[in-house]
Amino acid sequence: MSDPVTPADAPVQKLPVLFVPDLVVLPGMVVSIELDDAARATVDAARSGSDGRLLVAPRLDDRYAAYGAVATVERVGRVQGGTEAAILKADQRARIGSGVTGPGAALWVEVEPVPADVGAKDDRRVQDLAEEYKRLVVATLQRREAWQVIDQVQRVTDPGALADLAGYAPYLSAERKRELLETAQVAARLELVVGWTREHLAEMELTDKIGHDVAEGMEKSQREFLLRQQLAAIRKELGEGEPEGADDYRARVEAAQVPDAVRASMLREVDKLERASDQSPETSYLRTWLDTVLDLPWSVRTDDTTDVAAARAVLDADHHGLEEVKDRITEYLAVRARRAERGLQVVGGRGSGAVMLLAGPPGVGKTSLGESVARALGREFVRVSLGGVRDEAEIRGHRRTYVGALPGRIVRAVKEAGSMNPVVLLDEVDKVGADHRGDPAAALLEVLDPAQNHTFRDHYLELDLDLSDVLFLATANVVEQIPQALLDRMELITLDGYTEDDKVAIARDYLLPRQLERTAMTPDEVTVTDEALHELAASHTREAGVRQMERLLARLLRKAATRLATGQASGPVHVDVADLKDLVGRPRFTPEVAERTSVPGVATGLAVTGLGGDVLFIEASAHEVRPGGSPGLTLTGQLGEVMKESAQIALTYVTAHADELGVDPAFFDRAVHLHVPAGAVPKDGPSAGITMVTALTSLATGRPVRSEVGMTGEVTLNGRVLPIGGLKQKLLAAQRAGLTEVFVPLRNEPDLDDVPEEVLAALTVHVVGDVRDVVRGALGEAAEVAVERAA
């Protein structure tokens, strides 16, 4: 940097000064400055006290400069966005002197202008530097393709003005521009900008060279790949064979034991892989697809057991009861063993598979039954959870064009099993949902159809996969939530729940030994009587399955282990009925039917929920109509549309047959309120029709319903009792609730064959076709009830 010598007669000016952060303004530059309070005061002072002239000086790193540029305020206005700004045009350099006073709130200083270097134009060295700098600037602008700026640079002839154009250069730092501002001699300024521009050009050339080398390297890799492919083809023609390695997909495909159609498809993909570049994204997709297809067990099948009796023994050892599903598996095994003995086709082919749906409440053993079936058959077992699945691609897979594409859960299950004939358990098939990504239940139609699944096509594989020898077991809690088309493709086997005796047997033979093992105890240390197990099943649980029963046993054994560990028990812990209160607490369920039905207007119905069968109380009440009001029916208890219609039908029937039922017609001048507890639980279905008729008749006649009576059935306007579903679960619930007499529809009589004998022995079941028989029997006129079904 060189400081000019200011002539003694150089005029000293007094100007307001504007310090600009991180910006260096050189003579000849036109800049726009956003105005804050301080800048606005400086501009106002310049326009009022110095003919619009001010000094613009940089402030870098909170340091004020010793030099600045004298500038003129060309215009003040607002830029886009509404911010106020001023346009300044710098004229010449100036040195900042001492501060002085001046009008306005601005800072005024004495300014010593730096005179222009008049003789620089005639200096040969300056001319050469100017030409060199112009050449470098044009070369830089050509790389940026800034052709209009090049024309403007070519028109600049003054060396000093040319050097000060560096103030617009984006590649120069603010510190370098400040150094340029403080250098008054033209030759020195040109030397600085020439050196800096050369450095910048060298960096640009190096960057271009690196980019060029990278491009050449990619072309070289592609050339090497092509040569290697040609070398492999030459070796193949010569019969020398290709080198072994993980990437030798062609040899792996030709050696794989796969169907011919699959091998042909795989070889086509290998051809694509050999032609593709290593840098191509398609290469990774092809490798992943080939690895997936090669990993599938196309030719692997396990041998089914041919000892039907031994397989049935395995099923009986693993699960108590469940005779229907055990019989079906045994039949399946017997047919396969017979076909194997006679040399008939056993695997593959249209319609040779089996698809069974195990439907029932939670805790009855549906999921664990799948493992037992696989063990009985001697097959691999895979569980596929479908609860909450809403994407069709989860079943059929993603298209290979998507990033991160995978085959569907069915293909992954076969791959995990390692054989083409596993037992695949599709758990919670009724919990499958649908959204904008498709309907997974619809995608299951092909999977679970024995007439179609021998050519199942996954979207990712796009190959025919034979699923006909897979034994599919599906589980569900609520059959009504399964689409009808999907339900039609499966063989429905209902698991309705356990009786109290079944629960005690399961607890004694299965649950208690398992919990003893988990608590590291032996039967010699803890014993539980059958009476205690009966009490747990009757008074502490009220469920169709045995999950809560197992939790109570686990709690009981933990308490016993604590007593043994703390010395509270000196010897083996013996658990009887009297000990249950201390170990598992008070009974949670006590008989309440007698209390609820002790007043007229309450009847006990039977219902089926996702948790199994349950009793349902229908409560009816009536009150006088307020002045100006009208009689009507009020319904509460979160009832569905079907149940609301049943209530309307029941009221209409009682009104129309008041004389036959012994009801005073004046009763219907009152407002009737029908409520179904619990109010927080949604309820729907037609099977509460006869219960509503009985409750309304009980209220109208003032006769309470017999406390030991329960009922279920749909009613028509003519009083006919129509059949309902879930009869077995409802009768199990009636037994658990302590009922002894049940009215069921006449057309449901064949369903009683599926009800356990101990349940029928504990209940008196009346099959009725007319609701008047129900009303007479429920209100105490038992002699006129329809004929009982013989035990």
Whether the pLDDT of residue 788 is over 60: the answer is: no
445 C-beta neighbours (distance < 10 Å), count: 17
Average pLDDT over residues 189-203: 85
Q: What is the CATH number of domain 13-115?
A: 2.30.130.40
pTM above 0.85, yes or no: no
Q: Which of 3-7, 71-75, 717-721 has the lowest mean pLDDT?
A: 3-7
Q: Roughly what angle, to the nearest 10 degrees, separates helices 323-341 and 366-377? A: 20
Predicted local distance difference test score (pLDDT) of residue 136 = 82
**Where is mean pLDDT largest: 243-247, 739-743, 758-762?**
739-743
Q: pLDDT digits over 60-95, tens only?
A: 776 777 888 898 988 888 887 788 888 889 888 888
Predicted local distance difference test score (pLDDT) of residue 743 = 92
Whether the pLDDT of residue 602 is over 50: the answer is: yes
How many whole angstroms separate alpha carbon 429 and alpha carbon 440? 10
Predicted local distance difference test score (pLDDT) of residue 244 = 43
Whether the pLDDT of residue 144 is over 80: the answer is: no
Confidence of residue 432 (pLDDT cuts 50, 70, 90): confident
Residues near 584 by beta carbon (within 8 Å), at least 6 away in sequence: 536, 540, 552, 555, 556, 559
Whether the pLDDT of residue 242 is over 60: the answer is: no
* Residue-range domain boundaries for the chain: 13-115, 121-198, 244-295, 308-494, 500-584, 593-784
Q: Which of 183-187, 420-424, 434-438 has the lowest mean pLDDT?
A: 434-438
Annotated binding site for ATP: 360-367
Q: Roughly what angle, to the nearest 10 degrees, separates helices 124-144 and 186-238? A: 40
Average pLDDT over residues 766-778: 88
Whether the pLDDT of residue 549 is over 60: the answer is: yes
Whether the pLDDT of residue 345 is over 70: the answer is: no
Q: Which of 85-89, 117-121, 170-174, 595-599 has the lowest mean pLDDT?
A: 117-121
**Where is mean pLDDT largest: 82-86, 124-128, 271-275?**
82-86
- Whose CA is closest to 340, among 304, 298, 378, 310? 304
Q: Which of 114-118, 278-282, 453-457 has the lowest mean pLDDT?
A: 278-282
Residues marked active site are found at: 687, 730
Q: What percent of the chain has pLDDT over 90?
A: 1
DSSP reduced 3-state for 145? coil
The angle subtended at Cα 441 by Cα 463 and Cα 354, nearest 5°, is 65
Predicted local distance difference test score (pLDDT) of residue 504 = 85
Residues near 208 by beta carbon (within 8 Å), at least 6 away in sequence: none
How many whole angstroms separate alpha carbon 25 and alpha carbon 29? 6
Helix, strand, coil distribution of the chain in percent, nearest 5: 45, 20, 35
Predicted local distance difference test score (pLDDT) of residue 245 = 38
Q: Which of 128-132, 447-451, 473-477, 588-592 has the lowest mean pLDDT?
A: 588-592
Predicted local distance difference test score (pLDDT) of residue 246 = 41
Average pLDDT over residues 699-720: 88
DSSP reduced 3-state for 363? coil
Q: Mean pLDDT, the chain, as a whole number? A: 80
Average pLDDT over residues 646-672: 85
Average pLDDT over residues 177-196: 84
Q: What percent of the chain has pLDDT over 70?
A: 91
213 phi and psi angles, rounded to 5 deg: -65, -40
Annotate 753-786 with DSSP letters as a single string: GGS-HHHHHH-EEEEESBHHHHHHHHTT-GGGSP
Whether the pLDDT of residue 240 is over 80: the answer is: no
Predicted local distance difference test score (pLDDT) of residue 745 = 92
Whether the pLDDT of residue 132 is over 60: the answer is: yes
Whether the pLDDT of residue 9 is over 70: the answer is: no
Average pLDDT over residues 496-500: 76
CATH architecture of 308-494: 3-Layer(aba) Sandwich (3.40)
Annotate 150-181 with DSSP letters as a single string: HHHHHT---HHHHHHGGGG-TTS-HHHHHHHH
Count of positions (residues) in the chain: 791
Contact 193, 166 (CB under 8 A): yes
- Domain at 121-198, CATH class: mainly alpha
Predicted local distance difference test score (pLDDT) of residue 455 = 81
Whether the pLDDT of residue 490 is over 80: the answer is: yes
How many whole angstroms separate alpha carbon 532 and alpha carbon 404? 56
The number of angstroms, rounded, from the C-alpha of 69 to the middle of its chain's C-alpha atoms is 64
* Counts of helices then strands in the chain (DSSP H, E): 28, 25
Annotated binding site: 360-367
Q: Which amino acid is at 549?
A: M
Q: pLDDT digits over 616-630, tens only?
A: 888 888 888 777 667
- Domain at 593-784, CATH class: alpha beta
Q: What is the CATH number of domain 500-584?
A: 1.10.8.60
Predicted local distance difference test score (pLDDT) of residue 762 = 84
